Structure 1
Amino acid sequence: MNNHMQKYYIFIGGQKDLSILELQALLKEEIFALSEDILWVETETDMLKLQDRLGGTIKIAKELAVVPFESIEGFLIDYVIEKNPERKKITLGMNIHPEKYMKELFPTYSSLKQNVPFSVRWCQMKKNISSLVTFDQIMSKEVSCEFNIFCFSGVDYILTETISCQSPKSYALRDYEKPARDGKVGMLPPKLAQMLINISDNSPYVWDSFCGTGTLVFEAMLMGKTVLGSDYSVDMVKASLQNISFLRKKFSDVDFKEEDIFFHDVTEKEEIPYNIISEGYLGEALQDMPNYEQLEKTDEELSALYKQAFSHFYASGIKQVTLCVPLYYIEEKNEIMKKTLASIQKSGYNLRDLFGNNEPVIYSRPHQKVFRQICIFDRRDTK
């Protein structure tokens, strides 16, 4: 923890609701929206240390100053000079939000370059730096800085410096470069796995009862949690073990024992009192976009599966289950698995209203046939 409050600006990705839930779960302070995809918070928490854990946060910037337009150039010149006392060549980037102010702020590029006593290289001028790869290139230089300038009030300008961003290389390693992948059973993205873990109550013990290729198990291990993974498919258990063994060589601080990944059918009782966090079963892979007939078929299948599974979870004393339940987008409407959700709640668990509006929290990506409804089920004292 820092010993003082710092204002941070948080750039979130396409999963807005889930990204906000994740931040609310990890920060005690209230979070505010600056724009559709930029939030801000004033906190003592060291946000730099938090970045690698956040699946929904693309990058984080710290506030430097709030100034009128005529003070921007002078402030940035002084800041860059102070940041570079050895007068080495510096690489800079700058983003303007909203972009309509880009034209009036464009002279800042040349002014800053001309008024500092060392060489300046601007990375990408005339447009915002949207690529994390480009940001990585900036920050890989010996001396570098990326500024973000916000003017949503039309009066004052908020000057910020980027302190961290997601690592495309690290996510690629934990996703596309794993040796065991299986598109037929679906592949949980590491960022979604992180968000599922983060929005769940902060239990140090996690059981992924549908571990698949081991994505969520490994992400929980990276967070330092004690983790168990199981699956009803022997092939998936083998895939998890293969992937985690591969990733442990890249991330040496992960604590893992092979016996922590095991075969188990969730319709059979297992005395493990850990909180469950899992993608769950999303139904059979679809060749085409879903229809109402497919919705009814999948809902019936999952209802029967989870009726048994949650009855066993309840008997084992499991207090919380975080799960993805499939959601179909049919005829321009989100269609939830009503029977499945009802079956789970009859088994002794309440579906948490995550935003207090009785609306489902959805994870979706372009061209997906099946969306995911993000659910947290809390155990009742009595069924």
Structure 2
Amino acid sequence: MIQSVCILGRQPVLGLAELESLYGPLVQATAHGVAGIGLPADAIDFARLGGSTKLATILATVTSSNQKQIEKALLGIVRSPAFLLPKSGKFHLGLSSIGVDMSPAKLNALGLTLKKVIRTRHDGSVRTVPNTTPELSTAQVFHSHLANENGAELLLINTGQQTIIARTVAVQDIDSYTLRDRARPKRDARVGMLPPKLAQTIINLAVGSNPGQTPLTILDPFCGTGVVLQEALLMGYNVYGTDLEPRMIAYSQANLEWLSAQNLKLEHETWKIEVGDATTHRWEPRPTFIAGETYLGRPFTEVPDRATLEQTVSDVNAILTKFLRNIRPQLTPGTRLCLAMPAWQTRPNTFRRLPLLDSLEKIGYNRVEFERVSSDRLLYYREDQIVARELLVLTVK
């Protein structure tokens, strides 16, 4: 029985795979863009999730999508002492509909009805956050403080069989993500700009539900400016990064020193960064997990001609195959990896993938299969983006 729900991000398949990786069979696809979890919200480490925008506790279920029944259930919820309110001060209320047939105007009217009931229980003022769309954005929830004791976002989620009513208890800290992405002292658009949220997802897919023995070390063999290393440090792991280019090592070092100055809690985590060609390097000590964005090849702003594309695919495939062969004997059987590799979008939602994906077992790896999503759908891209990132989750044979 699910106790909590996560609202998934722009590419919900990645968020669902991330949750399944961490919480296994307790996770289910509840509605489009929504995952249900058989755990209380306080047992879910929301801050580490890159693919979920909100976390909510289930308050009630209604056995239909009938608006009158939903309104009756909502009135019962806000009247109950179990619906916690602050002792004084301003209280903000918001409503979001996911799959429930309620217009923004209807949600706004319903919000005013609930506001009147809440005012009978609360000494301070009560304000509603107006809907211009059925679902409030992450920014609205974050900046209106709807996920803490001074506010509430009530989610109405149509699962097809019933309507879930849930209260948001956590929302992505968009200010923190912006700081970790744009305020770092060293950035380089030429080597790609890995978003911190995607780095989190890559790490979570690498770690899985069995974190292994302490101390835990995550290796990024293509560390670039250190985004994966940064996010792994924030999760409490020791990190080890290598890169072919000395300039990238200097950038990673500067960025991690900056991060350490921002976060006192990093005192007990350690990092090691060194120049290394991933196709020949020997990593010592042996890492616990491998997570990173590999070499993506040439950047393209438009679909290249066939010959150029095939040459690029061949070059990248050779480098990454050599890397996988090099690192394989340095890892213990069962070691888990998540590597972002390139896939080229030749037509809308049609991709040219690396040939090495068909020979993973021959070079000593098994591809991790998921129950809730297909492993070949773990693609991160924008509609107009030629070079997508395919997240490859592997274990060493």
Cα contact 2:92–2:128 (8 A) shared by 1: yes
Structure 2: 5+ residue stretches without partners: 63-68
Q: Which amino acid aligns with 1:324?
A: A
Which of 314, 325, 340 matches 1:311?
A: 325
Aligned residue runs from structure 1 range 236-315, under 5 A: 236-255=248-267, 260-272=272-284, 273-274=286-287, 275-315=289-329
CA RMSD of aligned residues (A): 2.8
TM-score, normalised by the number of residues in structure 1: 0.87
Deviations 1:109-129 (A, max 9, x none): 232333333431111146435
Structure 1 residues 86 and 226 mapped into 2: Cα distance closer, same or farther (>3 Å)? closer
Moved more, 90-99 or 226-235: 90-99
Q: Give the superposition deviation at 1:209.
A: 0.6
* Residue 183 of structure 2 is aligned to residue 171 of structure 1: no
**Hey, what's the Cα distance between the residues in 2 that align with 1:258 and 1:42?**
34
Which of 342, 365, 371 matches 1:326?
A: 342
Which of 187, 190, 206 matches 1:181?
A: 187
Quote the residue 1:94 is aligned against: 95
**Hey, what's the Cα distance between the residues in 2 that align with 1:306 and 1:54?**
27
TM-score, normalised by the number of residues in structure 2: 0.84
Q: Which amino acid aligns with 1:111?
A: T
Quote the residue 1:57 is aligned against: 52
Quote the residue 1:378 is aligned against: 395
Quote the residue 2:66 is aligned against: none
Task: Report SS of the residue matched to 2:26.
Answer: coil
Deviations 1:218-258 (A, max 9, x none): 11111111210010000100111111111222222124888
Structure 1 residues 93 and 237 mapped into 2: Cα distance closer, same or farther (>3 Å)? same
Q: Which amino acid aligns with 1:121?
A: R
Q: Give the superposition deviation at 1:312.
A: 2.2
**Hey, what's the Cα distance between the residues in 2 that align with 1:358 and 1:8?**
25
Aligned residue runs from structure 1 range 127-138, under 5 A: 127-138=133-144
Cα contact 2:138–2:171 (8 A) shared by 1: yes
Aligned residues: 373
Aligned residue runs from structure 1 range 1-383, under 5 A: 7-44=3-40, 46-47=42-43, 50-67=45-62, 68-69=69-70, 71-79=72-80, 83-84=84-85, 86-98=87-99, 100-102=101-103, 106-115=108-117, 116-117=119-120, 118=123, 119-125=125-131, 127-139=133-145, 143-153=150-160, 157-201=163-207, 202-203=211-212, 204-255=216-267, 260-272=272-284, 273-274=286-287, 275-318=289-332, 319-332=335-348, 333-338=350-355, 340-342=356-358, 345-354=361-370, 359-380=376-397
Cα contact 1:148–1:159 (8 A) shared by 2: yes
Moved more, 82-91 or 11-20: 82-91
Structure 1 residues 77 and 212 mapped into 2: Cα distance closer, same or farther (>3 Å)? same
Moved more, 208-217 or 36-45: 36-45
**Hey, what's the Cα distance between the residues in 1 that align with 2:331 and 2:99?**
50
Cα contact 1:221–1:227 (8 A) shared by 2: yes
Task: Report SS of the residue matched to 1:139.
Answer: coil
Task: Report SS of the residue matched to 2:384.
Answer: coil
Q: Give the superposition deviation at 1:297.
A: 1.2
Cα contact 1:151–1:158 (8 A) shared by 2: yes
Cα contact 2:8–2:15 (8 A) shared by 1: yes
Cα contact 1:149–1:157 (8 A) shared by 2: yes
Cα contact 2:95–2:107 (8 A) shared by 1: no
Moved more, 106-115 or 31-40: 106-115
**Hey, what's the Cα distance between the residues in 2 that align with 1:225 and 1:348?**
26
Task: Report SS of the residue matched to 2:242.
Answer: strand
Deviations 1:104-154 (A, max 9, x none): 555432323333334311111464353222112221787211111234447
Structure 1: 5+ residue stretches without partners: none
Q: Which amino acid aligns with 2:48?
A: R
